[in-house]
Amino acid sequence: MTRLKIVSVGEPVLRATSQHVSKEQILTPSIQSLIEHMRETVRDAPGVGLAAPQVAESFQLVVIEDKVEYQANLTEAELIERERRPIPFHVLINPEMQLLSPLDANFFEGCLSLPGFMAIVPRARRVSVKALDHLGEPVHIEAEGWYARILQHEIDHLKGTLYIDRMWSRSFCTLDGYSRHWKSKSIKELVREFDPAGQHIRPIS
């Protein structure tokens, strides 16, 4: 199976609004092949999500999967605090998202298109997403916690938005710095460190 090249920040495709995909297009060999190649690419990375623009394809298409083994280095307390659970592989096409809670779920994110860096990004804890699946059938997802974060991150890609556009700039760090200093901190500790005055509390936008 072909593994696709993941493009990095600076490529114009990452800042463009992606094209709508018709139901007829979804069933074509080219889109079905793209989906399979994206599946292999995100697993090889490894990552929990990948948007078509990240492989230089300007389509409203994302793949998501959060395997049990990706969570093996987290404690039970960390999994509970971050509301992270395994998510089976699935495809979302032409997703439309509604935020169901304020942008006050704060934690570090990384991105395969900005390798080696992390930052705290405020997200909604709960979202609703309507989309088409890999066969062009409608799906409706209501997600919370880490799954909601992944959805917001990947759907942002389809609008030309990267996590660095939403991050707390003071928290921006290398992956090594995150691993050495912040990885084991609780969410409350991170908020106290990077937002002591509560300046980043924002309503639903």
Catalytic residues: 154
DSSP string, 30-55: HHHHHHHHHHHHHHHTT-SEEEGGGG
Contact 200, 168 (CB under 8 A): yes
* Burial degree of 93 (CB within 10 A; 0-12, 13-18, 19+): buried
Q: How many CB atoms lie within 10 A of CB 154?
A: 24
Most distant CA pair in the chain: distance in Å?
A: 53
Instruction: Give me the helices (H) in 58-144, please.
Output: 76-82
The token pair at 47 is: 């990552």
Q: Is 190 helix (H, G, I), strand (E, B) or coil?
A: helix
Contact 105, 127 (CB under 8 A): no
CA dist 140 and 133 (Å) reads 10
Contact 163, 121 (CB under 8 A): yes
CA dist 178 and 120 (Å) reads 10
